Amino acid sequence: MVTVEGTSTARFEPVRAALEANLASGEELGASIAVDVDGVMEVDLWGGHADEARAVAWHRDTAVGLWSTTKTLSSLAALVLVDRGALDLHRPVAHYWPEFAARGKQDIEVRHVLAHTSGLSGWQQPFTMDDLYDWPTASARLARQEPWWEPGSASGYHMQTQGQLVGELVRRVSGRTLTEFVDTEIARPLDADVQIGAREADWPRIAALVPPPQPPALPAGLDAEAVFTRTLLGSPARDEHVDTPRWRRAELGAVNGHGNARGLARALSAISRRGEANGVRLLSPDTVDKIFDVQADGVDLFLGVPVRWGIGYALADPRTMPHMPTGTICFWVGRGGSIVLMDLDRRITFAYTMNRLGEGILGSQRTHDYLRHVYEALDAAA
């Protein structure tokens, strides 16, 4: 029998029961769930196994690759710099990164990068993993590239480029890498077990990701000029690259963060609690409010589903997240189902990480089920 460890208050027992059921059925391999309610960690659960052979238990401090949930940390780093006046959301990226003005990009603003509306949702081919792992090359290629649609007119999810774009801005204005900035300005002050890449000392506690069955090959006749096609082919990182030394040593602010649900909840509760968490004022309330300035609201050119993008995060939208209520809520998800959600009306932060990747565009069925249980518990207690 698989045991779920950790703590949960009585009202969130259905969340524990759901995790236990998924672990018992094998739907989950290993996972962690956290719910912070106005600074109180009412749910801090973990269980299962850190490896597919089920030889290593998932412990309290087990970490896992976050895939695109990493973007929540990179966006938070950018917002910290906005709050300090080092970045201006409405200034051109080229103000901080002059080379970026090439090929008609002189008017692309910082907010466009954070809202996936810059037109740079992938790298122009050919572009390889070797190129992605080389920071100067990956940045220079984006600086020389022309947008694939009119910037600001629509969103096209920057699946793997957003970390490069945000990371380059962080480097230009702070003098530190995104990895260093997240560590020194977010993770350490908030005592949050999260990082971009992974320190080698932490490798033994990282759970191996287990991908779902491989999807079929792209159908013949796919429009080579479509944003979807160009983004997919221009985003080289795949499941086979994860959990390798090069991946963990790299700085890929869109996809290679590592942490667990407790760490994500501790870090991102700074948004849910309007800028202050764990005794640290990270953002002003005015900066937090900027997140909810809608930048795009429609079918995303890459994801193919409706997404309401604010600054750095998607905003609550029942069209794509049916168990999420409307309100002052922002969130993002990672491949396979990991999520961190910040609900400012209720001052809660919900996070979920796992190593068996599920299917789905915005979260897996497990993601949606846990989310439903969290909000049912909150509604019942209201």
Query: Could you say which DSSP state residue 345 is in?
Result: T
Q: Which of 229, 186, 239, 164 is nearest to 79 (CA)?
A: 186
pLDDT digits (tens, 9 = 90+) for 285-317: 999 999 999 999 999 999 999 999 999 999 999
Q: 351 pairs with which residues across the strands?
A: 34, 340
pLDDT of residue 223: 85
Query: Could you say which DSSP state residue 216 is in?
Result: P
- Mean per-residue pLDDT, 45-57: 97
pLDDT of residue 248: 98
pLDDT of residue 204: 98
Q: Which of 121, 107, 114 is nearest to 156 (CA)?
A: 121
Confidence at 1, pLDDT banded by 50, 70, 90: low
pLDDT digits (tens, 9 = 90+) for 59-118: 999 999 999 999 999 999 999 999 999 999 999 999 999 999 999 999 999 999 999 999
Q: Which pair of tokens denotes residue 96?
A: 């901080």
Query: Rounded distance, CA 82 to CA 80, Å?
Result: 5
Radius of gyration of the chain (CA): 19
Query: Rounded distance, CA 251 to CA 197, Å?
Result: 6
Does residue 266 surpass a pLDDT of 80? yes
pLDDT of residue 214: 75
pLDDT digits (tens, 9 = 90+) for 186-243: 999 999 999 999 999 999 999 999 998 876 566 677 788 999 999 999 999 999 999 9
Confidence at 39, pLDDT banded by 50, 70, 90: very high
Query: Rounded distance, CA 209 to CA 205, Å?
Result: 13
pLDDT of residue 169: 98
pLDDT of residue 382: 72
Q: Which amino acid is at 81?
A: L
Query: Rounded distance, CA 53 to CA 63, Å?
Result: 17
Q: Which of 257, 330, 243 is nearest to 73 (CA)?
A: 257
Query: Rounded distance, CA 338 to CA 352, Å?
Result: 5
pLDDT of residue 78: 98
Query: Rounded distance, CA 223 to CA 276, Å?
Result: 47
- Mean per-residue pLDDT, 361-380: 95
Q: Is the CB of residue 18 less than 8 Å from the CB of residue 373?
A: yes
> Which pTM was predicted?
0.97
CATH of domain 4-74+179-381: 3.40.710.10
pLDDT of residue 219: 66
Helix (H, G, I), strand (E, B) or coil at 21: helix
Work out whether the CA dihedral 352, 116, 295, 226 comes out positive or negative: negative
Task: Give me the percent of the chain exceeding a pLDDT of 70.
Answer: 98
Confidence at 121, pLDDT banded by 50, 70, 90: very high
Query: Rounded distance, CA 334 to CA 71, Å?
Result: 9
Domain residue spans of the chain: 4-74+179-381
Q: Which amino acid is at 321?
A: M
Q: Which amino acid is at 357?
A: L
pLDDT digits (tens, 9 = 90+) for 333-357: 999 999 999 999 999 999 999 999 9
Integer CA distances (angstroms), 180 to 62, 105, 109, in order: 21, 28, 24
Q: Which of 7, 92, 1, 103 is nearest to 54 (CA)?
A: 1
